[in-house]
């Protein structure tokens, strides 16, 4: 049996999210005493916790999550560890020079997950403001390589969020972005990534349970 590694942060009532997003409420709707069973109401942003972005997030004519083939969310993936055994300091620019040694892992249609160590700031306000951040040149470098999926342990790829998403999600590029991953320090260099979105119709993103399968 292969080993499974959970790459998702826990989803907890009231935990922090992006400042402009709806908050997360995980509330008791019914109990064994009231209904005969325990039942929960879930209310959250499509970008709460570990989640993915579809092109529709930044392009009104871009694909929604249900229009993306399932194999874009499942398959062989490479880890790019930008700070082995440690972590990048807050606000570190992630440059082309830092990615270039890993160039062979950025293959057309392939899946790449990069690790900065920023997971340690999860559920603090700084998590959403001070994360290591892709330069626009690095985003262009990645976009040119036409990978199919880019995952990361930061909540979004870049503080220049609009320009960066336009590069990575734009027409003809349309990289699936998997954000706020956890436990990347447990990953080997190669693994199978599983990260299917909920089957939300016509929408921009989805919280996911991301899991690595390791032989």
- Residue 13 vs 137, nearer CB to a second copy: 13
CA distance 133 to 106: 18
CB of 100 to a second copy, least distance (A): 29
- Residue 30 vs 90, nearer CB to a second copy: 30
Contact by Cβ (8 Å): 179, 52: yes
Shortest CA distance to 153 belongs to which of 100, 196, 212? 212
Shortest CA distance to 152 belongs to which of 82, 101, 213? 82
Contact by Cβ (8 Å): 47, 179: yes
Task: Give 61's DSSP letter.
Answer: T
- Residue 74 vs 83, nearer CB to a second copy: 74
- Other C-beta atoms lying within 10 Å of the C-beta of residue 20: 6
CB of 214 to a second copy, least distance (A): 12
SS3 150: strand
- Residue 24 vs 88, nearer CB to a second copy: 24
Q: How many CA atoms lie within 13 A of 37 on its CB side?
A: 2
CA distance 68 to 82: 29
- Residue 44 vs 139, nearer CB to a second copy: 44
Q: Which residues bind a second copy (CB under 8 A)?
A: 1, 4, 6, 8-12, 20-22, 26, 29-30, 32, 35-47, 49-50, 56-60, 66, 70-71, 74-75, 162, 165, 194, 196-201, 203-205, 207-209, 211, 213
- Residue 83 vs 194, nearer CB to a second copy: 194
For CA atoms 82, 88, 90, 93, the dihedral sign is negative
CB of 98 to a second copy, least distance (A): 27
CB of 75 to a second copy, least distance (A): 7
């Amino acid at each position: 049996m292969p080993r499974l590694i959970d790459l998702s942060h826990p989803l907890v009532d009231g935990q922090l999210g992006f400042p402009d997003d709806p908050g997360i409420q995980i509330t008791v709707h019914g109990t064994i005493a009231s209904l005969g069973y325990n039942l929960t109401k879930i209310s959250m942003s499509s970008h709460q916790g570990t989640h993915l972005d579809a092109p529709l997030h930044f392009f009104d004519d871009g694909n929604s999550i249900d229009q993306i083939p399932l194999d874009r969310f499942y398959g062989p993936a490479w880890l790019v560890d930008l700070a082995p055994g440690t972590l990048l300091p807050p606000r570190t620019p992630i440059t082309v020079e830092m990615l270039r040694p890993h160039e062979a892992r950025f293959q057309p249609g392939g899946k790449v997950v990069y690790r900065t160590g920023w997971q340690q700031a999860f559920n603090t306000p700084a998590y959403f403001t001070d994360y290591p951040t892709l330069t626009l040149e690095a985003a262009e470098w990645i976009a040119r390589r036409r990978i199919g999926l880019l995952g990361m342990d930061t909540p979004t790829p870049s503080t220049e969020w609009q320009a960066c998403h336009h590069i990575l999600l734009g027409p003809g590029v349309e990289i699936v972005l998997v954000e706020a991953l956890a436990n990347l320090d447990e990953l080997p260099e190669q693994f199978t990534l599983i990260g299917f979105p909920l089957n939300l119709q016509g929408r921009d993103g989805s919280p996911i349970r991301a899991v690595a399968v390791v032989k």
